[in-house]
Structure 1
Amino acid sequence: MKNFRIHILTLLFVSMAFSCSEDLLDVDNPNTPTVDQAWKTEKDAEMGINAAYNMFYKPSTWTRWIYFRYDLTSDEGHSTSPWGELADWTRFRYSNYNFWDGNNWHWRDFYKAIFRTNQVLAYVPTITFKDEATRDKILAQAKFIRALFYFQVAVLWETGPIVLDPSEPADEPEQRGEAEIWAQVEEDLLWAADKLPPTWDDANVGRATKGAAKALLARAYAQQKKWALAKAQLDWLVTGEGKGYYGLVDNYRDNFTHLNENNKESVFEIQFSDKNKGGDGDNLSASMGFQRTQFFAPGGIGWQDGKARAWLIDEYKKEKTKDGKNDPRLLNNIFYKDAYKDFPDAVANDTLVYNRRWDVGAWGNETFIKKYSTYYYRDREDYHAPNNFRFIRYADVLLLYAECLNETDQTAYAYQYVNLVRERPGTNLKKLEDAYPAIGNDKTLFRKRLQMERSLELCFEAVRWMDLKRWDLVTTQAGIEELKTRDVDFNNFVLGKHHRLPIPQIEVDNNTKLDQNTPY
């Protein structure tokens, strides 16, 4: 009887389909408007730019996998994941150029984000706005986001298409070199910085600002060793009009929890939330949680796919604070077995691991990444941490400013900006010149110490790989030899090859105008 009813209903629907007018079946889906239907109102423009921001919430970007490239591939971290291909991707063992999680997804989603910004830039100018300033702010945000993703293309692959208009499936955009990509980043950020506001109201906190555009542009200039241009952009944040918007918070830890977000040290911050616990798609219930914590936490609490290199602990302990204690940044950045010995005055939860004593049997002498973990309020991790990721911190700005000054022969003037970071009340280290008087005004010695200062302040914040490239440590044999002393994975590194990734092979196969990076 049940099967009979099914057959009857099937025949009924088939007969209805043949008897209906084709016009009745041609109904627009209000949830997926076409280009002709969309881009009519200011609300459409707002939704368009929000869709571009939404690309930050993909596993390939700043929720999860990007940290395997920027933190774990650098000398600060490593992977012992049982997923062999994932671990190998951080060890410079690239056998599958189509490894989705380590390569293809990055490329796909970076260009997907660029596609979304290109739509905004193409169609928003056709919309009538009540005032031009509102329109320009939307366009400036689109240029900022497009530049941010082209920045990643320049750092990771050094080559790729430059697509500036909404693309079509049959398009085969031409391959462009690193210099051309950087030039596009510069052009977009210069325009954005001119139009973006220095701050937003509470309802729009987290959107790109003038300071964010200038800081990102300074990073782009610095990567190309255009030191004077980089300094000129940072002037606005450090000594100019923007100085009043930024500063260092007293408590270093406040930069990495969900309890004091978007504070004065935040220059650009990716807004995460644990309110939605859905998947990673483009639907309204998609997750906006910070997922890296699940992958970096110790076993039994998370997946322990990413770990800290132990040399960092030794570096932190080489220098005492003004009151003779260990650098408190060590306690905030790394889980390790002897933390309770090194910080006897710390509250118990700070030297425990998610309220647990060190599991000698499971963790041994491992060192785990603590920064951004949620140990301070829960017992284990999941895929929905609420911590915002501080994409650019003011401490980074100050240290980069000092680097620009040193590289433009103003070493003596650079010390003060490093000291602002070192003497933060919650860090409490001596002035750089007092701790290392032998540096003096020696540009080379200052540069080398600044490299370590950046690591101790910014480790596990997705800047180390960018720094290693800027300092020529991955493009010279001397640099590789130095990195080998801190990270055995660099024994696999092939000079002239592994400083950039292979382009996903599927992209090369599908685009006749795209060549694989040599010597891959």
Structure 2
Amino acid sequence: MKNIIIRSMVVLALCMVATSCGKDLLDQKNPNSLGAGEFWKTESDAQKGVNAIYHMFYQNGGFNRWIYFRLDLTSDEGFSNSPWIELADWTRFNYINYNFWEGSVNTFRDIYKAIFRCNQVLANVPNIEFTDAKKKDALLAEAKFLRAFYYYYVAILYENVPVVTTPQSPADAPKAGTLADVWAQVEKDLTEAGAALPEQYTGDNIGRATKGAAMALLGKTYMQQKKWPEAKTALDYLVTGAGKNYYDLVAFVDNFRANNENNKESVFEIQFSDANKTGEGDGPSSNMGCNRAQFFAPRSIGWSDGQARYWMVDEFKKERTIDNKLDPRLQYTLFYPALEADFGNKTYGRSWEWGANEAWFKKYSRDYYRNNEDYFSEVNVRNIRFADVLLMYAEVLNELGQTADAYQYVNRVRTRSNMANLAVAYPAIGIDKTLFRERLKVERALELCGESVRWADLKRWGDLDTQAAVDKVAARDPDFKNFKVGKNIRLPIPLSEIQNNPNLTGHQNAGY
């Protein structure tokens, strides 16, 4: 998949609808670019169009860099002490400048830029003749999955935004939307994508969206809306249904390094590469690496704009393994001062700079073979992995009143790390739905810390809906003392979007 994008990525911005031109010397056709009327003719064009959507993963506003500040640092797992005060303020609910590029506008723009590319494919590819109709359906399904993927994150972050499903021109002014509108579109796209996507890929196509990826994201979508029966049906495919043979757990550490990528635990994985050590951009030779570790690494190793809350270290140490050792996940999840003493980890000659009670995200770091980070990390981000699916499935069963049956799925995750069965470790839970839910919150933190799911979890659990609930979160993360109930559960829509679109006037998110 990485090689395919490198070889055939095309910038669809060059395929914008061009107006016809006369003989005016100042209005000549550019021979180096294609208009929409000249592109979208062949199967190759269709494939390039889909590849261009995947290329949006390498843009700064999304999973190359800034979205992790929104998903990880704004949650109670992380925070920022960046000397760039405005950047840090956007992780602690101090939203002053609604046009702050790195805090919001860049992410909002890149999400809709990706959606635009999806819409181009979905509008134009149906008109292209294919020798194999199934290949055409699969490409359209990929575009639907990716459109749903981006609308899922815009729903998690912004909520009430326009739902755009056709290619737009600069003069268009899409109407304001609601969170319900966004979720409805995500459900529709994923349902249709799941029906047409392949169950697996081979060769260079490994890494593309599969049926399992669509069903997992659909399950997440239903869960955020507390549609528990629908969520179970979607997740059934991966856990008990036709897809169960494709997925399993692997060694925990293999989920966060460049070796053993796209393994059986991977449900959807963002493919990063260090092939192009160049600047960011949108061309075929632009950087395809991930910047996350560069910005989240400890001082002296990277920029250190984001770090983990130390309560996570303490949480890992509350329960020991069956053979009375520390939870082995800790050594691959967080950097902290006692890491080497606790696990015998060597520092590879690094000079760590941290305080006594500081912690940093270790997942996706490259400390296992180098002593610094850069902008070209080749480590894939495991956006959805099977351990997450198992814990989601347990949550769904619990909410459906099937708590006793939910234990086995939590235990599969715990057993991988040599932890005792949940009923043995915490017998007081029994089949009490509330107690099971509270323990599951901890289980998800231990397994998925730093994997960009915690913000959605807090929202789904209602932990941000009341002042009493927020106060409990603030006891772990003092940034939540700034949190305003009913307001900060979503980001403000960038002011520039409202100013440039008359249909958004008066539709800023509540409280802003």
TM bracket, shorter-chain basis: over 0.9
**2:312 aligns to what?**
312
**1:267 aligns to what?**
267
Alignment of 1:345-364 (within 5 A): 346=344, 348-349=345-346, 352=347, 354-356=348-350, 358-359=352-353, 363-364=355-356
Cα offset for 1:299?
1.3
**1:160 aligns to what?**
161
Task: Pick from 382, 386, 398 the counterpart of residue 390 of structure 1.
Answer: 382
SS of equivalent to 1:274: coil
Indicate if the aligned counterparts of 1:298 and 1:363 stay in contact, CA closer than 8 A: no
Asked if residue 516 in structure 1 is aligned to residue 503 in structure 2, the reply is: no
Alignment of 1:376-387 (within 5 A): 376-387=368-379
**1:214 aligns to what?**
215
SS of equivalent to 1:428: coil
Cα offset for 1:137?
0.5
**1:16 aligns to what?**
none
**1:18 aligns to what?**
none
Alignment of 1:74-89 (within 5 A): 74-89=75-90
Q: Distance in 2 between matches of 1:22 and 1:183?
A: 48
**1:190 aligns to what?**
191
Report Cα offsets for 1:328-349 as digits up to 9, x if no partner: 1111111111123322xx3x42
Q: Distance in 2 between matches of 1:142 and 1:355?
A: 45
Indicate if the aligned counterparts of 1:140 and 1:191 stay in contact, CA closer than 8 A: yes
Q: Do the aligned partners of residues 429 and 31 (structure 1) sit closer, same or farther apart at CA in structure 2, a change above 3 Å counting? A: farther
SS of equivalent to 1:160: coil
Q: How many residues align?
A: 489
Report Cα offsets for 1:412-449 as digits up to 9, x if no partner: 0000000000001xx11000111000000000000000
SS of equivalent to 1:176: coil
Cα offset for 1:364?
4.5
Q: Distance in 2 between matches of 1:151 and 1:431?
A: 33
Indicate if the aligned counterparts of 1:355 and 1:375 stay in contact, CA closer than 8 A: no
Alignment of 1:59-458 (within 5 A): 59-249=60-250, 251-343=251-343, 346=344, 348-349=345-346, 352=347, 354-356=348-350, 358-359=352-353, 363-424=355-416, 427-458=417-448
Normalization by structure 2: what TM-score? Answer: 0.94
Cα offset for 1:27?
5.7
Q: Distance in 1 between matches of 2:61 and 2:469?
A: 29
**2:58 aligns to what?**
57
**1:494 aligns to what?**
484
Indicate if the aligned counterparts of 2:296 and 2:307 stay in contact, CA closer than 8 A: yes
Cα offset for 1:357?
5.6
Indicate if the aligned counterparts of 2:300 and 2:352 stay in contact, CA closer than 8 A: no
Partner amino acid, structure 2, of 1:460: G
Report Cα offsets for 1:70-119 as digits up to 9, x if no partner: 11000001100010000000010000011111111111111111110000
Normalization by structure 1: what TM-score? Answer: 0.92
Indicate if the aligned counterparts of 2:262 and 2:269 stay in contact, CA closer than 8 A: yes
Indicate if the aligned counterparts of 2:59 and 2:282 stay in contact, CA closer than 8 A: no
Cα offset for 1:30?
4.8
Cα offset for 1:163?
0.8
SS of equivalent to 1:502: coil
Cα offset for 1:481?
1.1
SS of equivalent to 2:149: helix
Q: Distance in 2 between matches of 1:290 and 1:406?
A: 36
Indicate if the aligned counterparts of 2:300 and 2:351 stay in contact, CA closer than 8 A: no
Cα offset for 1:365?
3.4
Indicate if the aligned counterparts of 2:321 and 2:419 stay in contact, CA closer than 8 A: yes
Cα offset for 1:408?
0.1
**1:482 aligns to what?**
472
Partner amino acid, structure 2, of 1:317: K
Cα offset for 1:188?
0.4
SS of equivalent to 2:502: coil
SS of equivalent to 2:480: helix
Q: Distance in 2 between matches of 1:379 and 1:107?
A: 34
Q: Distance in 2 between matches of 1:455 and 1:367?
A: 15
Cα offset for 1:295?
0.4
Q: Distance in 1 between matches of 2:410 and 2:158?
A: 31
Partner amino acid, structure 1, of 2:296: F
Moved more, 331-340 or 69-78: 331-340
Indicate if the aligned counterparts of 1:225 and 1:470 stay in contact, CA closer than 8 A: yes
- Identity rate of aligned residues, in percent? 58
SS of equivalent to 2:329: helix
Q: Which has the larger radius of gyration?
A: 1
Cα offset for 1:236?
0.7
Cα offset for 1:461?
0.4
SS of equivalent to 1:474: coil
**Unmatched tracts of structure 2, length 5 or more:** 1-21
SS of equivalent to 1:161: coil
SS of equivalent to 1:391: strand
Partner amino acid, structure 1, of 2:415: E
For the aligned residue pairs, the C-alpha RMSD in angstroms reads: 1.4
